[in-house]
Amino acid sequence: MLPFKRKLNLAIFVAAALFLVPFARGQKSAEVLPAPLPPQIYTGKRVFISNAGGDSNSLYSGGPDRLYNQFYAALQGWRRYQLVTNPAESDLVLTVSFSNPFTGENSPTGNQRVVGGSVSDPQFRLTIIDPTTRVTLWTFTEHVQSALLSGNRDKNFDQALDALVNDLKNVAGSQPPRPAPTDSSGFMERVTGKLRGSTLLVRVEDVILRLHDRMARVSAV
């Protein structure tokens, strides 16, 4: 004889499955699950930061190494990774670079002419590399908003750098992602999370409550 609690859990699981199978078949398009994240990104502890340089950044103060210096300082303050000076000792290599590709030329607009000639798209790129296989694991790109005044350009530089660091934080985090639950409670948790507020969920919950009430009466006899 199965214990009452196990009977109840089994009945709930079967009832939910019977209602969800027709619903899943009726979906017009299947939900695309997120692709796996390379585990080195959130399990790695030692990082080597590489300065890949790039185009001239004479529009900004701080010299050609400003991006590298500020990115290095930001990761020191984060304290998520241990920064090493030898790439052979690292679990990950983070390569930062600056590019300012030419995208076109300003043209007259009505009776006014836009100040300046060429139009560019300054941007930062962060590439995460596996030092063992030299395979690129992840890449981030953040664009630096243009400005006429040098003070505003420097402020936009800092904002783009903050966004680049936040991109890394959102992927790497401080803890590895929690594995998907495999038990019946985890199944119900995923179901209710996706179908919350739907009429189907209301019907499933109604069936579960009725089963629970009936099983309780049977157990009491």
| Residues 146-175 pLDDT 10s | 999 999 999 999 999 999 999 999 999 855
Domains recognised in the chain with CATH numbers: 4-25+178-220 (no CATH), 44-172 (3.30.160)
Q: Which pairs count as long-range contacts for 73-80, CB under 8 Å and 24+ apart, including other chains? A: 74/161, 74/162, 74/165, 75/47, 75/49, 75/165, 78/165, 78/169, 80/169, 80/172, 80/174
Q: Is the pLDDT of residue 178 over 70?
A: no
Each residue's pLDDT tens digit, 24-72: 555 556 788 888 999 999 999 999 999 998 887 788 999 999 999 999 9
User: Rounded distance, CA 129 to CA 94, Å?
Assistant: 6
